[in-house]
């Protein structure tokens, strides 16, 4: 499995801090809404993720888990 993140959509409040923090600019707020009525964040191009953890650290709701791949 390559680098990627998982976002707990129902923890997300759509604040956009992770979007701003990602040095690869591969997180966006999506079109769909979660159970709380927020546009939740999604990772749009996992193949470019460097597993730097910036998104996870920036999230005030601890909604993001980063997985570091083997390659
Ligand atoms: S781990 Fe780093 S590169 Fe990957 S999505 Fe998060 S901020 Fe972006
Ligand atoms: S920082 Fe957390 S709460 Fe804010 S948009 Fe990103 S995943 Fe959602």
Closest CA to 8 of 57, 31, 42: 42
Domain containing 28 equals 4-67
**Domain count of the chain?**
1
pLDDT of residue 71: 59
Q: Token match 């079109």: residue?
A: 31
Tell me which of 25, 64, 66 to substitute to probe ligand 2's pocket, judged by most ligand atoms within 8 Å of the beta carbon.
64
CA of 34 to the centre of ligand 2 (A): 12
Nearest protein CA to atom 1 of ligand 2, as residue? 59
- Give the global pTM: 0.95
The CB-side HSE value for 55 (13 A sphere, CA atoms) comes to 31
C-beta of residue 42 within 8 angstroms of C-beta of residue 20? no
CATH code assigned at 18: 3.30.70.20
Label residue 22 by pLDDT band (50, 70, 90): very high
CB of residue 42 inside a 6 A radius of ligand 1:
no
């Amino acid at each position: 499995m390559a680098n990627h993140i998982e976002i707990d959509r129902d923890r997300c409040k759509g604040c956009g801090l992770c979007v701003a923090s990602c040095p690869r600019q591969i997180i966006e707020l999506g079109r769909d809404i979660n159970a709380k009525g927020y546009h939740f964040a999604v990772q749009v191009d996992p193949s470019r993720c460097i597993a730097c953890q910036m998104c996870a650290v920036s999230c005030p709701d601890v909604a993001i888990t980063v997985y570091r791949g083997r390659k």
